[in-house]
Homo-oligomer: A and B are copies of this chain.
């Protein structure tokens, strides 16, 4: 089986990572790579680490260049995916790495993004629990339109959904603080993303409830069975590492939940998973351990003095947070073995 693939936004960081993973996928042929301002240039000039793809030239991103493939990956700025939807109506599988098709609530879209609302696609985080004791994986079987997750959102959702689904934590007063690398912000020419601004410094942004990934987490918690108000204090902090998210997420312990109840919630949720792993009690993950891997590592502490569960989760924002999630979801949608082309081992030190 050879799957022909097109990747748009191929000169950016998300597009580059999709290509890096696809290049190691035995069933895929990368036929088309597209970009906007860089169209006409060799891919290798913009992705000099992708030596095996040195033969590819960036084409213009148009409905015509993207049409005619088995799978199309859209790695475009928010708001741009919609214009290709109609043109790709005959494409068997389209996966959007942008935000356009993630939210089911037009109100949430309005409040955090604005502009035209797009229909929600199947959410690409297979390991997430959804109501009815099922996982999102089942929804992805045979899916034809998939929305890859926001990297920060999926990290926090994977951290907390087991506790919410099991009723052992209270979703009304979640606090999460994330140490994140700047690659999540894309290859954007902004002063605050310059190396001189980030080296040797920890820089917060989107403080106070404005980050666009907040409604995406609320949606995942609702899908997992949360009822009542979902309160999330969400603060991302840029730190000097190119990749990685270390999310420290806490929530109040639900009345009556024992330590065994709590730990069991996460063990039950992820005990059989390859790419989401709960560490033994007392151990906590580092982002270096998942660099380049499609793995989320989760450490769990129960702080009775503070009356909070503390979940520390490490992911590579470009892999499990974006491109790996997209390809894992593709594998499921197409009926391939789920781990094809993906590594569980990180590159460390």
Indicate if the CB atoms of B49 and A289 lie closer than 8 Å.
Answer: yes
Q: Residue of B at shortest CB range from A205? A: B284
In the docked arrangement, what's the CA distance between A171 and B293, Å? Answer: 40
Indicate if the CB atoms of A197 and B299 lie closer than 8 Å.
Answer: no
Indicate if the CB atoms of B182 and A196 lie closer than 8 Å.
Answer: yes
Integer count of this chain's copies in the complex:
4
Indicate if the CB atoms of B175 and A196 lie closer than 8 Å.
Answer: no
Scoring A181, A190, A198 by chain B CB atoms within 10 A of each residue's CB, the highest score goes to A198
Q: Within 8 Å CB of A248, what residues of B?
A: 177, 204, 207, 235, 237
Indicate if the CB atoms of A235 and B347 lie closer than 8 Å.
Answer: no
B174, B198, B344: which contacts A51 (Cβ < 8 A)? B344
Indicate if the CB atoms of A193 and B196 lie closer than 8 Å.
Answer: yes
Q: Residue of B at shortest CB range from A240? A: B240
A interface with B by C-beta (< 8 Å): 13, 16, 20, 23-24, 47-53, 173-175, 177, 179, 181-183, 187-191, 193-205, 207-209, 231-235, 237, 239-244, 246, 248, 250, 252, 277, 284-293, 295, 297, 299, 301-308, 310, 312, 314, 343-349
Indicate if the CB atoms of A301 and B207 lie closer than 8 Å.
Answer: yes
Indicate if the CB atoms of B241 and A200 lie closer than 8 Å.
Answer: yes
* A314 CB → nearest B CB, Å: 7
